[in-house]
Amino acid sequence: MKVTKAIIPAAGLGTRMLPATKTVPKEMLPLVDKPVIQYIIEEAVASGIEDILIVTNRAKSAMDDYFDYTPELEDRLLRAGKTAELEAVRRTAELANIFYVRQRETKGLGHAVFRARNFVGDEPFAVLLGDDVMMADKPVTGQLIAAAEKYGASCVGTQRVSPDAISLYSSLKIEPLEERVFRVSDMNEKPRPHEKFSDYAILGRYVLTREIFDILADTEPGHGGEIQLTDGLKRLCKVSPMVAVDFEGRRYDTGNLAGFLEATIDFALKNDEISPFLTEFIRNKAKTL
């Protein structure tokens, strides 16, 4: 099993970040010096992905512009001798083979993934949610691909969340296979406390096999009237092997303000240029709080 294709669903409406996301896609909000989606594409590339399909909608054309050349700007940077800036700008257009498909109606994550069926063909593929950013030494998608390949299975990324938080996620029914890897036998989306299987939540990364498309094709709308990927995965894990990887790394949900701010601070503290200033600023600020 070799995984070289990835889908980034990025067609959500971003209602938790309004009004900022009224005209700017949430995936294009800057995390320090790059838009959110660039971190996700860089993770995919570092995990061995070559072809990436971004699921967009009519309000998100800023994304395809961003991953294209900008001749006038590049020419100006070249003539001004701004080579570092020129390289940074060129690099965004050369990160990977990036393709786009529109989700014409916002009918849920499962529906968005289904839009990728022709792109994927028969190969297993990765899914990286467009607003979930990871900070990890080993790219998180790569950690999932390794487990999917080892077990010949589909794979979901997981981490343990607090008992109070699990109702915001999909809860997994799992048994341990080895350190950090579990066999998945069931799951449920946004469970009420008595419905949860465990506090292990699916968090933003998946490696899936082609069977998911046949399943999604006849999955009825579920929670929130949308076609939920979890409802499809629940059926997938019953007909073919699925594992979960308790991945090493920290996940940030940049689709809500608190997660976005946490990510901004943590990535800024990792950035050599801005970190000395920010550390000093935070120290001084903390004294006044």
**Shortest distance (Å) from residue 185 CB to ligand UTP:** 24
Give the DSSP per-residue string, 56-106.
E-TT-HHHHHHTS--HHHHHHHHHTT-HHHHHHHHHHTTSSEEEEEE-SS-
Q: Show the binding pattern over residues 43-62: x = contacts ligand UTP (CB under 6 A), - = does not.
A: ------------x-------
Token digits for 30? 């800057």
Token digits for 10? 């990025």
- What is the Cα–Cα distance from 46 to 247, expressed in whole angstroms? 15
- Residue 144 vs 146, nearer CB to ligand UTP: 144
Under the criterion CB under 6 A, does residue 108 sit at the interface with ligand UTP? Answer: yes
A 10 A CB-CB count for 257 gives: 11
- Residue 90 vs 107, nearer CB to ligand UTP: 107
Q: Within positions 109 to 148, which residues make up the interface with ligand UTP, using CB under 6 A?
A: 109, 111-112, 129-131
Calculate ∠ Cα 224-230-232, nearest 5°.
105
- On the question of a cis peptide bond just before residue 19, with omega within 30 degrees of 0, the verdict is yes
The single-letter code of the amino acid at 146 is: A
Q: Within positions 78 to 107, which residues make up the interface with ligand UTP, using CB under 6 A?
A: 103, 106-107
Q: Within positions 214 to 273, which residues make up the interface with ligand UTP, using CB under 6 A?
A: 255
**Shortest distance (Å) from residue 2 CB to ligand UTP:** 25
- Residue 35 vs 130, nearer CB to ligand UTP: 130
- Residue 109 vs 208, nearer CB to ligand UTP: 109
Under the criterion CB under 6 A, does residue 11 sit at the interface with ligand UTP? Answer: yes
**Shortest distance (Å) from residue 60 CB to ligand UTP:** 9
Q: Which residues pair with residue 110 across a beta bridge?
A: none
DSSP-based three-state secondary structure for 134: strand
With contacts defined by CB under 6 A, name the span among 5-13, 146-154, 160-168, 192-200 that binds ligand UTP. 5-13
Q: At what angle do helices 140-151 and 36-46 cross, to 10 degrees?
A: 40
- Residue 43 vs 131, nearer CB to ligand UTP: 131
**Binding footprint of ligand UTP on the chain (CB under 6 A):** 9-16, 55, 103, 106-109, 111-112, 129-131, 255
